[in-house]
């Protein structure tokens, strides 16, 4: 059993070459899940040749625009293709966000989505994955997720400061996809830098780390950022680019 992770979008709200907004596709042998759905997600899905019919479930980490911009568009694309409603899982407030966003477009009155709001420590099974939600530390309500399928496990942090809850979620994981928004020596809140991340995940037995959600200030610093995480954590680390695939 293997899992394939495609980093569809690795950027933020500020446009930059090679990086659309946050979105990750996780595929097991039989199905797929989308993690976040920022601007550019529909285009990236088409570029990787992923069938819209096979993608009916989205996990949202939080409701900032660079993580949900294409959500309504994805739900509408399924509606226009006469496919069943999109299943959306996200933090508290997701249902209100979707309802208000949809109300702006009267032509979408017949379009629907099945929405389930999650709290920290919720767990459930979906599309061949066992999924665990945990609290992340951001400027709004935010969740990190652990996805397990047979003997493989992935953790996606979403946007967060270094956070003990996320660290605990990531223990002995095969792949940690963690935001690393700014290079050193930036001192930021609500986000993570390489040295803070490396210190947070030291001795956690994480097999591989992928850094994502990079601001333009990180351009040209990617290799150094990965090396700083490696030096402090001991875990093999790379910086993601859009369309990068990782198989575990």
Find the domain containing 100 and state its range: 4-247
Both tokens of 93, joined, read: 């407030």
Distance CA 131, CA 154 (A): 10
In this predicted structure, the answer to whether residue 1 has a pLDDT above a threshold of 80 is no
Question: What pTM was computed for the model?
Answer: 0.97
Number of domains in the chain: 1
CATH of the domain at 194: 3.60.15.10
| Predicted pLDDT of residue 170 | 98
The pLDDT-based confidence of 53 (bands split at 50, 70, 90) is confident
> By the 8 A CB rule, do 15 and 9 touch?
no
Distance CA 99, CA 63 (A): 13
Mean local confidence (pLDDT), 29-58: 94
| Predicted pLDDT of residue 178 | 98
129 - beta bridge partners? 126
pLDDT tens per residue across span 123-136: 999 999 999 999 99
Name the nearest CA neighbour of 108 among 83, 142, 73. 73
Distance CA 220, CA 182 (A): 12
């Amino acid at each position: 059993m293997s899992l394939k992770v495609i980093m569809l979008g690795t950027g933020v709200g500020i446009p930059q070459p090679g990086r659309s907004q946050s979105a990750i596709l996780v595929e097991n042998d039989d199905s797929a899940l989308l993690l976040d759905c920022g601007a550019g997600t529909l285009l990236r899905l088409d570029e990787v040749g992923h069938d819209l019919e096979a993608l009916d479930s989205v996990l949202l980490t939080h409701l900032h625009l660079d993580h949900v911009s294409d959500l309504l568009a994805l739900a509408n694309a399924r509606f226009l293709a006469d496919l069943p409603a999109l299943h959306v899982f996200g933090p508290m407030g997701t249902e209100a966000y979707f309802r208000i966003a949809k109300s702006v477009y009267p032509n979408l009155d017949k379009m629907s989505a099945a929405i389930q709001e999650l709290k920290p420590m919720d767990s459930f099974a979906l599309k061949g994955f066992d999924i665990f939600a945990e609290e992340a530390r951001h400027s709004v309500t935010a969740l990190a997720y652990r996805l397990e399928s047979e003997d493989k496990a992935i953790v996606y942090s979403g946007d967060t400061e270094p956070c003990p809850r996320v660290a605990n979620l990531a223990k002995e994981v095969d792949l940690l996809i963690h935001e690393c928004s700014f290079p050193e020596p930036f001192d930021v809140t609500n986000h993570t830098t390489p040295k803070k991340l490396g210190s947070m995940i030291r001795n956690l037995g994480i097999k591989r780390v992928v850094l994502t959600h990079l601001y333009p200030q990180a351009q040209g610093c990617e290799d150094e950022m990965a090396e700083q995480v490696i030096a402090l954590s001991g875990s093999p680390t790379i910086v993601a680019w859009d369309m990068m695939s990782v198989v575990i």
